[in-house]
Amino acid sequence: MKTQWHRLCAVFLVCISLLAAVSAAAQSNSIKLGQSLPLSGPLAELGSEYRDGALAYFNWINSKGGVHGRSIELVTLDDGYVVEKTMANGRQLIEKEGVLAFFGMFGSANYSALMELVNERNIPSLAPYSGSDELRAKNSPNTFWLRASYGDETEKIIEQLTTLGITRIGVFYQDDAFGQAGLSGVEKALQKRKLKVQGSGVYDKTKNDVSEAVKVISAANPQAVVMISTYKPTAAFVKQMKQAGQIPQFFALSVVGYKALQSELGNDVFGIAISQVVPYPWTGTLPVVREFNALPKEVQPKSGATYTTFEGYLAAKVMVEALNRAGPKPSREKLQAALAGMRALDFGGFSVDYAGKNHLGSHFVEVTIVGNSGRLMR
């Protein structure tokens, strides 16, 4: 009886060991990518949309067998757009989750703090959601930018305004690295044309009180105002400017988040111009846009088709291409080399080129405007 019992125990232990081995093999068969972005706080909608767009492409690739037979796992942590939480999340993703690379980390101030960790740990970081020219100028060997810079966006805006004969241009901006980067971009674009900012107003992102900025900019009586701000303070600024009898042409950067801005402003959103750093995602002749809109229903972005979900989708396409190039056993070094080797690579109408020390993948910018129907028009 004892012998039979011992045999049963031995069989049981073997089964447990086999199950553990299978589980470990399944875990090791996935490629882990780490992401810290705002799923709460002032940029929650943008963070959710970006994640959803990326997951749409990763899930589609996984449904077709993954990359070299391995599935992609995106580990996403919420930072609420708070720098300290981004740093804590970054360490957790490296030390506890063991991610191969960072993907789509959010915020200029956030990524400014995180960049030291990225370089110190030699971890590839693709498509940070920031347009900061200052961060790009640091030439991080591990960082690969996808979106155009704030300098690219503001240059396009100022070019369009001055072409129309508009020269009195004010700036409304957030009091942090993001706002300063945008302000600097406007100043440089105006200096090229021997012009200066006509009224600049700043706000504290922790309070969203825009009243002082409205006073300063109203006093300058600008023909147009470039808004370097997230959607809630942008909406408050537009409303208060109109209440003060000021109706300049309002321009916002891509990070404002059109859907969120529309929900805050209602009909007051009509006529606002917004720069965009990826192609129009709803209709068009570009193959990548058609692919995005033809995704199987089960993997389509939960947030629907927006500029931000499409940006996340494009970033995921670039990551998958790099993983394919890195081979069946990708290391951080192999992945970084694969990204650095991309030259004028066409992703179906959206080109990426990581030549040069600062790895500026794209300079694509176009300006849209909110029409009377409430839809964005090019």
Report pLDDT digits (tens) over 218-251: 999 999 999 999 999 999 999 999 999 999 999 9
Whether CATH 3.40.50.620 fits 151-276: no
- Which ranges in the chain are annotated with CATH 3.40.50.2300? 28-148+281-364, 151-276
Is pLDDT of 6 > 60? Answer: no
> What average pLDDT does the structure give for the chain?
92
Residue 372 confidence (pLDDT): 86
Residue 373 confidence (pLDDT): 82
Mean pLDDT for the stretch of residues 20-38: 69
Residue 18 confidence (pLDDT): 35
Mean pLDDT for the stretch of residues 7-12: 46
Is pLDDT of 8 > 90? Answer: no
Is pLDDT of 208 > 70? Answer: yes
Mean pLDDT for the stretch of residues 150-162: 97
Residue 28 confidence (pLDDT): 59
The verdict on pTM exceeding 0.85 is yes
Residue 25 confidence (pLDDT): 35
**Using 50, 70 and 90 to split pLDDT, how confident is the model at 205?**
confident
Residue 336 confidence (pLDDT): 97
Mean pLDDT for the stretch of residues 347-373: 95
Right CATH for 28-148+281-364 from 3.90.1150.10, 3.40.50.300, 3.40.50.2300, 2.30.110.10: 3.40.50.2300
Residue 177 confidence (pLDDT): 86
Model confidence over 264-274: pLDDT tens digits?
999 999 999 99
Mean pLDDT for the stretch of residues 183-203: 97
Is pLDDT of 3 > 70? Answer: no
**Using 50, 70 and 90 to split pLDDT, how confident is the model at 22?**
very low
Model confidence over 47-98: pLDDT tens digits?
999 999 999 999 999 999 999 999 999 999 999 999 999 999 999 999 999 9
Residue 352 confidence (pLDDT): 98
Residue 291 confidence (pLDDT): 97
Is pLDDT of 7 > 70? Answer: no
Alpha-carbon distance of 330 to 316, in angstroms, equals 16
Residue 24 confidence (pLDDT): 36
Mean pLDDT for the stretch of residues 120-139: 96
Residue 15 confidence (pLDDT): 40
